[in-house]
Amino acid sequence: MSIIYTRFPNRGAGIGLLLLRVAIGVTLILHAGLLLQFQESRIAGVAIVVIALFSGLALLAGFLTPIVSVVAFLIVAGTGFSRLAGLSGGVIAGYQASLDVVVMAAAIVLLGPGAFSVDAHLFGRRKIIIPPPSPSERA
């Protein structure tokens, strides 16, 4: 799993990634709530709502960020550009707003979670201490 996480930028870049994650996470949570109001009790509709809700929460925390960002990308692209009744609209109304969220999710996939995330604490930088060689190894 460490191959997914290559960088954990801090300072300004880390704050920027945090803001992107918060924006998409809050949007997904609100979108899930509004989709739930318009969905009938179809299993597929409820599944989309549950996945959107948990994806939004995971993005807020920065947990499994690249994977959850791909899921967010697919949910927003599917519901935002859908012509099916009950899927379009909600918080992300219109193609332009959906396109914005899709591009932000793709940016998070490419840039990583940032230093201010659960992923940074789980998979982040580690200090490796190499002990000095023993006298028998020096010779």
Neighbours of 114 (CB within 10 A): 25
pLDDT digits (tens, 9 = 90+) for 81-129: 665 544 555 555 566 777 888 888 888 888 888 888 888 888 876 677 8
- Would you state the pLDDT for residue 85? 46
Q: What is the mean pLDDT of residues 26-31?
A: 87
- Rounded-to-integer distance, Cα 55 and Cα 50, Å: 8
DSSP 117: S
| Confidence band for 30, pLDDT divided at 50, 70 and 90 | confident
- Would you state the pLDDT for residue 25? 92
How far, in whole angstroms, is CA 21 from its chain's centroid? 6
- Would you state the pLDDT for residue 40? 64
Greater confidence (138 vs 68) lies with 68
pLDDT digits (tens, 9 = 90+) for 36-70: 777 666 777 788 888 989 999 999 998 988 899 99
- Rounded-to-integer distance, Cα 134 and Cα 115, Å: 37
| Confidence band for 1, pLDDT divided at 50, 70 and 90 | very low
Largest CA-CA distance found in the chain, in angstroms, rounded: 77
- Would you state the pLDDT for residue 43? 77
- Rounded-to-integer distance, Cα 52 and Cα 31, Å: 8
Q: What is the mean pLDDT of residues 10-35?
A: 86
